[in-house]
Amino acid sequence: MDGRCWWVDCLGNVHGRVEGRNASAEALLLGSHLDTVVEARIFDG
């Protein structure tokens, strides 16, 4: 394995992890979401 993995939780959220070169470095967390509103505008949510 090359330090990458992904999984789907019981709610359908997709998670992923990539191991860095420096194990003592701080983590970086990124997030996003998919809108469920049909007529969503740029500032909704």
Q: How far is CA 22 from CA 2, 15, 18, 25, in A?
A: 14, 21, 12, 6
pLDDT-derived band at 41, boundaries 50, 70, 90: confident
Longest dimension (CA), the chain: 44
* Whether residue 6 has pLDDT greater than 90: yes
Number of domains in the chain: 1
What pLDDT, in 10s, does the model give residues 11-33?
Answer: 888 899 998 899 899 998 888 87
pTM beyond 0.85, yes or no:
no
Which tokens go with 14?
């997709």
> Which residues 6+ apart lie within 8 Å of 45 measured at CB?
33, 35, 37
- The boundaries of the domain holding residue 37 are 1-45
